[in-house]
Structure 1
Amino acid sequence: MKHEAYLFGGVAVFFLLTDVAYIWFAREPVGIAALTVSCLMSSVITFFLVMNYKRKGRRPEDRPDGEIQERSGRVDFFPPHSPYPVVTAAGVTLLAVGLIYGAWLSLIGLGLLGGGVSGMVFEFSGRGDA
């Protein structure tokens, strides 16, 4: 993940330099905000990758002598079926439509969205697989 961290760090530096030049020459608030947010988002990804590299070390694909067998084994648990993505999609849809037609519809959509997201988060929490 070290190389990916360098890549996103370079993207963050690019957005930072572009943002500074844009502030100096253009002085237009929407572009400044967009470039600043882009710099911050790529910095967050860089931070995540650096912390993951420090915590887990080098991966087999980062080493020249890495073997395919080193990454074999159980990948993770993938849920077979769940009603919560459909509930979440309905909540987002009602929330968006409610912004146009009325706050009461947005409140219903917000409730559905909260239920769907919390359902996805806690659906397999008692699985006991750690």
Structure 2
Amino acid sequence: MKGEAWLFTGVALFFAVTCAVYAAFAPDPAGIAALAVSGLMAVLIAAYLWWGYTRVGPRPEDRKDARVREAGGTRGFFPARSYFPVISAAGSALLALGTVQGLWLFLIGVGVLIPGVYGFAFQNTDRDD
């Protein structure tokens, strides 16, 4: 995690310097705001990664003397195939069309989107880990 933390710290510094130079030479407030927000987002990610590094400690990927077998074991959870993303996308499309066409289509979109998002969010709560 230390490498990722350094990477996002560098990105945050890049946006800070770029924002300062841009603010000095261009009076455009939209560009200044965009660079400032980009820098703040990079700072947020870098702070989380540094916090995670201090909490967990160095991973095998962070040490030069680490062996491959140290990083073995379960690497993550990969859910099975699901149709809930498709249902959520269809509900979102119906919501967008409903804002143009009428309230009746918007309400159908709400009726399709709510179960899609609910199923998408809770489809893996009953897994045994």
**TM-score higher than 0.5 here?**
yes
Find the counterpart in structure 1 of residue 12 from structure 2.
12
Sequence identity percentage: 50
Residue 91 of structure 1 corresponds to which residue in structure 2? Answer: 91
Q: What is the number of equivalent residue pairs in this alignment?
A: 129
Instruction: Write the letter of the residue equivalent to 1:74.
Output: T
Residue 59 (1) aligns with residue 59 (2)? yes
Q: Deviations over 1:49-97 (max 9, x none)?
A: 1122122111111111111111112223322221211112213323444
For structure 2, the 5+ residue unaligned runs are none
**Shift of residue 15 of structure 1?**
0.7
What TM-score do you get using the length of structure 2 for normalisation?
A: 0.82
* Structure 1 residue ranges without an equivalent (≥5): none
Task: Provide, for residues 22-53 of structure 1, a one-character-per-residue CA deviation record: whole Å limited to 9, x for no partner.
Answer: 22221212211211121112112112211221
Q: Pairwise CA RMSD of aligned residues?
A: 2.2
Match of 1:122 in 2: 122
Q: Distance in 2 between matches of 1:108 and 1:98?
A: 8
Question: For 1:36 and 1:103, how far apart are their aligned partners in 2?
Answer: 39
